[in-house]
């Protein structure tokens, strides 16, 4: 029975991703560069710090890092998700059935994962996009609206940190669905529902 549910969910996710969401705008070959990265579980959006609003720049500060020297990097990688799932599963090797089951039931305890990184290189699990200034502003506004209140939480290493976020996580609205929503807010062509990392990257 469990296998049938999992297979049905997997099929539904790819079906939902196959339909283009409304509001998509033409892709550009020039403009503001951003990147989308995929670690096999979580997708994240990588953008230059120069795009941040004053509020976000003040919140995503190097002093929050275990090693503030990483704050010298000029790019941020941002993702959203369930607190327990995100913090506890940096790789597939850390994934457990109990964590997946708990997250699938839904949680209001969500976080933004923010990494201070050098400029990414396109290729493999990293895709580059170009946005017009108005599209980049909408993307940043979406990230800003996802940021909650509260103290930062220790990340995986010296370069990253978690911040309390807004929004409810569930099997319907996963970390990858959030990435898809963020890109759709910027007008990037994307599937209607993107629950898996592959369903996001498929469109890029």
Question: Do 82 and 178 contact (CB within 8 A), yes or no?
Answer: no
Instruction: List the single range of 67-71, 90-94, 142-146 with lowest mean pLDDT.
Output: 90-94
Is the pLDDT at 136 greater than 70? The verdict is yes
Q: Among 80, 86, 88, 60, which residue's Cα sits nearest to residue 159?
A: 60
The whole-angstrom separation of Cα 95 and Cα 85 is 8
Q: Which domain holds residue 150?
A: 2-201
For residue 128, list its beta bridge partners. Answer: 35
Buried/exposed code over 124-161 (b: 16+ C-beta within 10 A; e: otherwise) = eebbebebbeebbebbbebbeebbeeeebeebeeebbb
- Please check the confidence at residue 80 and state whether its pLDDT lies above 90: yes
CA distance 20 to 113: 27
Q: What is the pLDDT of residue 96?
A: 65
pLDDT at 151: 95
Q: What CA–CA distance (Å, rounded) separates 16 from 91?
A: 25
| Per-residue confidence band for 9, with pLDDT thresholds at 50, 70 and 90 | confident
User: How is residue 118 written in tokens?
Assistant: 């050098």
Q: For 152-196, how does the pLDDT look when each residue is reduced to its tens digit (9 = 90+)?
A: 999 999 999 999 999 999 999 999 999 999 999 999 999 999 999
The pLDDT tens digits for 99-133 are 666 666 778 899 999 999 999 998 889 999 999 99
Closest C-alpha to 196, from 2, 14, 5, 6: 14
Of 36-45, 81-90, 178-187, the range with the highest mean pLDDT is 178-187
Mean pLDDT of 198-204: 96
pLDDT at position 3:
75
pLDDT at 84 over 80: yes
When divided into structural domains, the chain yields a total of: 1
Instruction: Quickly state the pLDDT bin for 95 (edges 50, 70, 90).
Output: low
pLDDT of residue 93: 67
Contact between 120 and 126 under an 8 Å Cβ cutoff? The reply is: yes
Q: Are 81 and 110 in contact (CB under 8 A)?
A: yes
Query: In this predicted structure, what is the pLDDT of residue 90?
Result: 66
Would you say 153 and 111 are in contact if contact means Cβ atoms under 8 Å apart?
yes
């Amino acid at each position: 029975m469990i296998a049938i549910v999992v297979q049905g969910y997997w099929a539904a996710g790819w079906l939902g991703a196959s339909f283009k969401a409304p509001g998509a705008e033409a892709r550009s070959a020039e403009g503001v560069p951003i990147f989308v990265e995929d670690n096999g579980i979580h997708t994240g959006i990588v953008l230059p710090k120069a795009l941040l609003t004053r509020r976000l720049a003040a919140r995503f500060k190097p002093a929050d890092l275990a090693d503030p020297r990483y704050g010298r990097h000029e790019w941020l990688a941002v993702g959203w998700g369930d607190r327990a799932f995100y913090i506890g599963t940096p790789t597939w090797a850390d994934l457990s059935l109990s964590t997946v089951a708990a997250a699938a039931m839904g949680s209001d305890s969500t976080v933004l994962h923010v990494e201070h990184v050098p400029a990414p290189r396109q290729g493999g699990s990293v895709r580059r996009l170009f946005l017009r200034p108005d599209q980049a502003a909408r993307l940043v506004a979406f990230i800003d609206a996802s940021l909650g209140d509260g103290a930062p939480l220790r990340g995986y290493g010296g370069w990253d940190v978690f911040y309390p976020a807004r929004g409810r996580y569930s099997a319907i609205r996963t970390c990858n669905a959030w990435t898809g929503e963020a890109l759709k807010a910027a007008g990037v062509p994307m599937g209607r529902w993107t629950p898996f990392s592959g369903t996001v990257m498929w469109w890029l």
